[in-house]
Structure 1
Amino acid sequence: MGVDYYNILGLTRSAASGDIKKNYRKLALKFHPEKNPNDQAAYDKFKQLAEAYDVLSDLRKRAVYDQFGEEGLKNGVPEGSGETGAWTKGYTFHGNPDKVFRDFFGGDNPFQEFYDRVDGDLSMGFGGLAGRGRKKQDPPIERDLALSLEEVYHGCTKKMKISRRVMNDDGHTSSIRDKILTITVKKGWKPGTKITFPQEGDQGPNNVPADIVFIVKDKLHPNFRREGVNLIYTADVPLGKALTGCTVDVHTLDDRTLHIPINDIVKPGYVKVVPGEGMPISTNPTEKGDLIIEFNIMFPTTLSPERKEVVRSALLL
């Protein structure tokens, strides 16, 4: 009947490639010679696991094995229709289970880093499976998420297209594929807010994909800038109105127009605070910061002698 590679790995014939990897990893660690010193039975099992994984993790070998069994795999089978008389080359396991183990874990000996010898026995080292036996995650990939003040004021949904390397079903090759990540922007998100998509970076056989992190950044706005939860608006006011009073019209982010009376004398550094007309507070969007109006006092470029005299008389009274 021949060797049952599926049974060796504790699998059925319908096992997916991920199941093959998962079971080999678990059993290879269990029967590794470092954990079972001077145990020939464990070493024999470790070797059987390596051969089973070597066959079932390769799509071509697995297909031949599934159709023709161990005999067909190792002796070769007719190529194509068989009319040419050509046969495939038979499979022979190279006999080195340590090579399969190293290739799988991507290191020379993962046990050197996640096991410590204590009085001749093996115990889990500090951090558990934190050495070479554990796949290391790539550093986060950070990208700007540029949002208009209107988008942050109202909240919105952004769809971000990324291209990443994805492992194919054979577990050895990869291809570039696009993916759409959906971000639900909440009202009042501040610049620097981070949105993390775990493990959406490039995949590889020996790594954990990086997290993709989007960082909120404000787009320039023609009328406002924000500081914390407050909106800052700069009003251009002629000198005469700065001294005698005026009304400032402000078109808001939600399409209203505020008519703000300015009765004080507008001097350098003067600001007008309009409570509750700023940005939503992210933790409680029903509340808002303030609108702060700053002033750019516009001085005349020229004055006739008569007007100078009027100004002089008015200011010297």
Structure 2
Amino acid sequence: MKEDYYDILGISKNATAAEIKKAYRKMAIKYHPDKNPGDEKAEEMFKKSAEAYEVLSNPDKKAKYDQFGHQAFEGGFGGAGGGMNMDDIFSQFGDIFGSAFGGGGGFSGFGGFGGGGQRRVKGSNLRIRVKLTLEEIANGVEKKIKVKRKKVAKGTTFKTCGTCNGTGQMTRIQNTILGRMQTATTCSSCGGAGQVMDRKGDGADSNGLATVEETVSIKIPAGVVDGMQLKVSGKGNDAPGDGIPGDLLVAIEEKQHPTLQRDGDNLHYDLYISFSEAALGTSKEIDTVTGKVRIKIENGTQSGKILRLRNKGIPSINGYGSGDLLVHVNVWTPKTLTSEQREFFDKMSDDEHFQPKPEKQDKSFFEKVKDMFS
């Protein structure tokens, strides 16, 4: 079972944003790899602290975590920090360490950084939109998408930047009335990569990259919602030199279903039946996200009745079961009648069986709405 994020940082659930940041900085400095070389436990705590801070420092993620715990981020891509590597941590939170470790928070001995505090540059992210049917959303799906991304061109080689000596930064020391001040800025020659192009391959741009088309497999979990963004790590653009690739951000777009309407994890279906079917009873075949099913309509069914099919809706993205399918029964009133039909209804207009006699179980419209939302 995963540790509580608040416990990892040693703070209460009522901690302010400033207190959360202060607690994380304290933990990060304590377990920083430069201070604990070769200590696997310290490295693990360093990663756990970053994961906790990634969630608790984001108001939206924090709200979800406070409500659902770790389950709020299961099944998604990159929703919480689980599995964060050193490159991710320093690219996102390196500024928090300040000058405690040479300005950039760099370290040696782990694949993300070279000697002398060099930080590997991360490539830019790519964004695509994927359209899904309700059936795909309900069952989960794997999509193979063609993506145009920049990769290091074949034949391109890089060498250490002579301006910054591979650190990716330029350090400047100034004498002020407060004493000597040291500032670090991104190297203008290599853009912070620590390397510059040595030999340009065929089709390469000024950064040594070339555009290629690649098929990316994206596993989309069941229960995603319109507008949700998933992350596929390492499938964005490459960075020059030995930088790490950016990410592919996948925005979900839900296609409109011809007969089903989605409301959270519940689905709604409008079923129209005739006077005779309502009076005599019938059975009808309706759509669901797992195929068609046949339902029974009892005799004497009133217009506006709602039939609830349990667990026939959309699975919860957080793993809390599935929603329901609500079938709204509408009795269709004919707009034109033959003379024979009109004569029949004239005769029945005063018949006691045709007089409205609502019973307690025949709820009003507002009661039905209240039931749906509860």
**TM-score scaled to structure 2, two decimals?**
0.43
RCO comparison, higher one (Cα < 8 Å, 6+) = 2
**TM-score scaled to structure 1, two decimals?**
0.50
Larger Rg: 1
